[in-house]
Structure 1
């Protein structure tokens, strides 16, 4: 039974503390208390809480030490990476969230209101002044953690909190969805980038061969992390296709292995890569991403992401009048709706027909350096 104790405060008012003590075999196994301004409220809480604690396993769950959001994020990063390497964006986002005030809150503190407040804070000057889409991405990455925290680790997380927060923010007028990009590189921009990489290769042959990587990304439509995961054992010579492991998908990623057709231009690039180790492109995705960003900055090419090469590659196939199933066999998309964002067409025909850089990419020598071999060895150890 709970006990209710009255306490007179300095201002003359009275507060009521409801205290619950549970004993088993004469030993106290649980204790909890709450203070209320009204005695009736204290009695109501005590009755309700005693009923909850009577449920099987309730005391054990209540006795668990709460975990902070930062601790849950760290655990998620460790556990998920055992299955496969995480993307740089997700890792950076969850790490950054852990360093904010939200990261210090415990699992039982997280509710719809707290998540809404966090998104609004992120969009404020104090929180970084980010766009609603960025705040939405923060919630999406955090949502992946909260979705498994209760069932996988027993943390007391409200499974409905994240959905409620996104619903409230939409009703407040915030569009949390990422804007669809329609940025495609021009032939001039690609020529400048490849000229830059060609000069880099001439100065130091063992650096990441960005000529091969950029060319393959463009003609194969593969994402950056997919390119660096394709193995020689994943190549189907007869079908001119490769097995793309853990392809990005809203409903499933890990284990979502998809066979994708490789267009002739990309297939020719594969044939020029040396068969050293398991991976066709034994380079670190972080190194490729960094190299791309530095080159664009140096050449004053604005707002061009490496992923825009996939956009360009898919749009090119539509401009060549490939039908939807045929394009999907290359890109790996499952439905037309998800492909729509990549079809910002610039006419018809293949503007890469006779493109001088394709031949230069094929002839570019490949020499793997210490960094590439280190990455290759690391990849082998994590499999």
Structure 2
């Protein structure tokens, strides 16, 4: 139980804890003393009380490193998150104690990062910081009074990309891929546009995932965690059949870094700058709708659980809609 008494125009609170040293604190006002006493007693009863001076000793960097070792490797996004954590660890904010990690300090961090990276990337970094602090509270007995990153307002992001290739741009990029020293580049580009598959899904494809008789690809491990079956068009079948068989049964035995190099080279040759490989997925899904496929059919191919997300990818051309009017 807490003992509260007035001494020399101040209010002194003393909480006795069996088997531990007493907890003491002094306040100027009586109501603040009673409020702190109630809150602290509840924490002591729940076994979550932690003295402020103990929290002062914990550096934010220690929590980030522990998160990198214990939490991140269990995620599908581990490679990307590992890179983001690496960037975070280079910033002076990680040298703060967790009691000094205030909303104001996070705003300073956000402003610094905005000079180097985009708003969506900054938002992801703030969300990562929030996740680190949440795990520290839930799993590592770090009893923070609040999570300063959770309530920090996220930056406004630009509208989703709506880049689509014109017929001429598509031919130019296809020819550039075909002329590349990397023999896998052109079929990778073609399959991306024909199937709407992500880069990671394409690069992880193996022969046993493809059934040419049924004209399907079965993906066990996808971004949203659910398996899905992707139907193959005649063009997609032709591309797969034309590929040489690699020793490791991979359809595309090429690393991500090599792919990035040759993809950038092909775009430069085609004189196309504002087009990312992920935009092939936008292009593919838009083409599915232009062919007359329904929303459930497209969702089955793309793997979207929330069909509303499809509107981010569906950028129909006005001239194609006019033909139906």
TM-score, length-scaled by structure 2? 0.75
Are 1:235 and 2:226 an aligned pair? no
Separation in 2 of the partners of 1:162 and 1:33? 30
Shift in Å, 1:343: 1.5
Separation in 2 of the partners of 1:231 and 1:303? 31
Listed one character per residue, the Cα deviations across residues 143-171 of structure 1 (whole Å, up to 9, x for unaligned) are 444454433444435676544223xx5xx
Shift in Å, 1:342: 1.5
Structure 1 unaligned spans of 5+:
8-13, 202-206, 350-383
176, 198, 203: which one aligns with 1:223: 198
Separation in 2 of the partners of 1:54 and 1:84? 34
Separation in 1 of the partners of 2:146 and 2:186? 46
Separation in 2 of the partners of 1:265 and 1:64? 61
Q: Which residue of 2 aligns with 1:272?
A: 242
Give aligned pairs, total: 317
Q: Which residue of 2 aligns with 1:324?
A: 295
Contact 2:286 2:315 in 1 (8 A): yes
- Spell out the pairing of 1:1-383 with structure 2 (5 A cutoff): 24=19, 29=20, 38=28, 40=30, 43-44=33-34, 47-48=37-38, 50-59=40-49, 68-80=59-71, 82-83=73-74, 86=77, 89-107=80-98, 113-114=103-104, 118-119=106-107, 121-122=109-110, 124=111, 128=115, 130-156=117-143, 161-166=148-153, 174-175=155-156, 177-201=157-181, 207=182, 209-248=184-223, 253=224, 255-273=225-243, 274=245, 276-297=247-268, 300-346=271-317, 347-348=319-320
Tell me the C-alpha RMSD between the 2 structures.
4.0
Separation in 2 of the partners of 1:66 and 1:278? 52
Separation in 2 of the partners of 1:194 and 1:54? 67
Structure 2 unaligned spans of 5+:
none
Q: 1:187 to 1:238 in 2, by over 3 A?
A: same
Contact 2:13 2:37 in 1 (8 A): no
Listed one character per residue, the Cα deviations across residues 194-225 of structure 1 (whole Å, up to 9, x for unaligned) are 44444442xxxxx5721222222121111112
Contact 1:193 1:295 in 2 (8 A): yes
- Answer with 76-85 or 208-217: which moved more: 76-85
Contact 2:203 2:251 in 1 (8 A): yes
Q: 1:79 to 1:50 in 2, by over 3 A?
A: closer
- Answer with 319-328 or 230-239: which moved more: 230-239
Q: What secondary structure sits across from 1:139 in the alignment?
A: helix
Contact 1:147 1:159 in 2 (8 A): no
Separation in 2 of the partners of 1:52 and 1:308? 53
Shift in Å, 1:317: 1.4
Q: Which residue of 2 aligns with 1:366?
A: none
Q: 1:305 to 1:277 in 2, by over 3 A?
A: same
Q: What secondary structure sits across from 2:152 in the alignment?
A: helix
Q: 1:65 to 1:232 in 2, by over 3 A?
A: farther
Q: What secondary structure sits across from 1:165 in the alignment?
A: coil
Separation in 2 of the partners of 1:154 and 1:266? 53
Q: What secondary structure sits across from 2:218 in the alignment?
A: strand
